[in-house]
Amino acid sequence: MKKISIDHLRAREGSDYPAPFDEPCRRRRRRALGDAAGLTDFGVNLMQLEPGAWSSQRHWHSKEDEFVWVLEGQVVLVSNEGEETFSAGDCAGFKAGERNGHHFQNRTDKPVRLLEVGSRHHDDVTEYPDIDMRWGGPSPAHKDGRPY
């Protein structure tokens, strides 16, 4: 086991969403801590959301559990239940298969840091209730199956 040097990990900025769905996520930055540790059963990401950035489009997973812990700053969780403000130390979990579309939005003027933990299932399908997108393979598709 070795210590992971977070500052030396490459940060992945933005998202792989097709335009225009990528726009609110362009100012997010992820560092794959789980990959750096060689983990294969679950992923761990350190995410930074700049002011105005979203963690993702609102979504839910068919087979992957998710857990998010706010490390620094304040964000708004937007889900099927409405909106809730989270501050440093707050956390939430999202069970696989529950059709509760969710994401976090940084509505402040300061960066936010989140720790994301999620299972890794290659046959997972991610559903996006607010937009015409479904992701169940190497690339996103329209809900009717047409590729982007």
Can you tell me the mean pLDDT for 136-144? 93
pLDDT at residue 6 above 70?
A: yes
pLDDT at residue 104, as a whole number:
98
pLDDT of residue 30: 97
Domains and their CATH numbers in the chain:
14-141 (2.60.120.10)
pLDDT at 94 over 80: yes
Q: Can you tell me the mean pLDDT for 110-126?
A: 96
Give the closest residue to 113 by CA, choosing from 11, 17, 42, 37. Answer: 11
Assigned token pair, 67: 């857990």
CB 112 within 8 Å of CB 68: no
pLDDT at 1: 63
Identify the helix (H) or strand (E) that includes residue 36: helix 33-36
